[in-house]
Structure 1
């Protein structure tokens, strides 16, 4: 089990990113190989003609029978850290288990690139996957969008944007403790102050970096902060799975979002795990709470990817 460092924002974003990347690489180095999954990196067009190309990683399992379902993955990191290859083992394991291609997107990070740049990159990557589904061996009507933490928030925003644009069909969304509310008002957001997990201060830092001049205003679009959506805003979304821990700062916003989805007529599964903090299953996957989380998540993915 890796040691969880305190979150220290005073060292600056460059050092934070370098430290977290080093920690992630050390963890990944201890994990077993997944030999039946091949990876390749590709560059795809950006959101607009003037945008730079976007880097993505494709995970392709041996024994894949085309056309199959496909998974579009968006990494977490509070909108400010993380990378498309940061969940390599997870993506390889899922690709191997479900025998489906997975595509992971490298989106631009705040504060250098505030909203809407990260969302635009995520949507552009999904749009490319949808348009090129046949070359990936994927049925374009069976693409699930998933992400964790900030990636879960970007996944929710991307799916909302895709519904409204009408270019891309999404079969389901699997939102892992998604970061979706910038308003800093829920009890759980204020309760979680422990320095070794994503807490109230970290959340303010991440949202202010992501929203830039929009932060603290009433002008934040629902694509940026999906928790701002009304029930009517959520109608017509695909089946949704949300999981969050009892001790997660995102607990209340995720529960409320699931409730609004249900009220909007969206088939929704919500799993709240007692004793779990933000991303706790990543630090101790053998803990009883982690086993419950991972089992529920795999069940949701299995249903979406069949």
Structure 2
């Protein structure tokens, strides 16, 4: 039994909510067209709802789309920059990779969220519209994001960025997969020798290919949540299996399973948000342990009894409001380069 198994006990507030509002049935996980339609009509609007009503005045920030060349074409990136652009000020940098299993989502998905984060924390954000599966198999998503990141570093003046003030890579769910993979790539790439990442933010991340679970000799009792939480709301084990079949990639590829990287030494301070009722729960706990043993600073917020990205599906919960507040606290910690570690959530 995992030391975190008790975190799967359903949150009382969510339990009461589900009695009045049973979980919505998802389309079949093998019906890509139906899932894409569901994502556009249901998932993305819900993800945007919290932040849409909290947007600051337009005068407080600038939004600009850019085209970035990638292998075989070009992609869009969207920058949000605080201020009007007249003051010549430079800001820390948050590079963002959206979730959606590397199959769904686009540059609009987290747009309102990033507008709020940019103005609240006074950071430039860049949201990358990487190409998705099944039309583009992994590692296209990672390669697109890496090209966009290099473009940003070459255009810091255009984006009003000061990397010395902070250089963070972040993502949610499969966006966390990309963020973790990018952080390792950046550490190892000479292009970034003078511009190292100062923090990474991993929200409900997917960090281990599910087929790699059978080769877990080094961590036999640390990846049990996929089975324990296989039939919970929002994300099921069946959907995870389908996702990996759809995106391609090898179960032994450390860029798809960052826990398998040869070394984790030299990675930056990392902020985790982990949901107790999430099949991916133990991915994050394992990666947190690996990073700490490699000498990295980490800060972890845990949400017992709550499913994957619950704050999107159940925004009225008090825990969802806390999740949003914790994002701001955790990012400020990263902007402070991991100094003065805030209180770790109790397990």
TM-score (norm 2): 0.79
**1:129-176, Cα deviation, whole Å (9 max, x unpaired):** 111112211113422100000000110001111111132321110110
For the pair 1:293 / 2:323, whether they are aligned, the reply is yes
Contact 2:103 2:132 in 1 (8 A): yes
* CA–CA separation in structure 1 for the residues paired with 2:282 and 2:296: 19
Largest Rg, 1 or 2:
2
In structure 2, which of residues 253, 262, 283 is the aligned counterpart of residue 221 of structure 1? Answer: 253
The equivalent of 1:21 in structure 2 is 40
Displacement after TM superposition at 1:254 (Å): 0.6
5+ residue gaps, structure 1, are none
Displacement after TM superposition at 1:41 (Å): 1.3
Any idea what SS the aligned residue of 1:247 has?
coil
The equivalent of 1:200 in structure 2 is 237
The count of aligned residue pairs is 296
Any idea what SS the aligned residue of 2:73 has?
coil
**1:215-255, Cα deviation, whole Å (9 max, x unpaired):** 5xxxx22112112235xx10011111111111111111110
- Of stretches 54-63 and 91-100 in structure 1, the one that deviates more from structure 2 is 54-63
5+ residue gaps, structure 2, are 1-16, 214-222, 337-347
Displacement after TM superposition at 1:190 (Å): 1.0
The answer to which structure, 1 or 2, has the higher relative contact order (CA under 8 A, 6+ apart) is 2
- Of stretches 263-272 and 62-71 in structure 1, the one that deviates more from structure 2 is 62-71
The equivalent of 2:119 in structure 1 is 96
Contact 2:314 2:320 in 1 (8 A): yes
Contact 1:6 1:197 in 2 (8 A): no
* CA–CA separation in structure 2 for the residues paired with 1:295 and 1:255: 21
Q: How does 1:171-210 map to 2 (within 5 A)?
A: 171-184=198-211, 185=213, 186-194=223-231, 196-210=233-247
Displacement after TM superposition at 1:10 (Å): 5.3
Distance 1:4 1:52, change over 3 A: farther
Displacement after TM superposition at 1:51 (Å): 2.9
In structure 1, which of residues 131, 142, 155 is the aligned counterpart of residue 179 of structure 2? Answer: 155
Contact 2:98 2:175 in 1 (8 A): yes
**1:113-142, Cα deviation, whole Å (9 max, x unpaired):** 112111101111111111111221111342
* CA–CA separation in structure 2 for the residues paired with 1:45 and 1:54: 7
**1:43-72, Cα deviation, whole Å (9 max, x unpaired):** 0122xxx43112111112226772210111
For the pair 1:109 / 2:128, whether they are aligned, the reply is no
Displacement after TM superposition at 1:182 (Å): 0.6
Distance 1:236 1:29, change over 3 A: closer
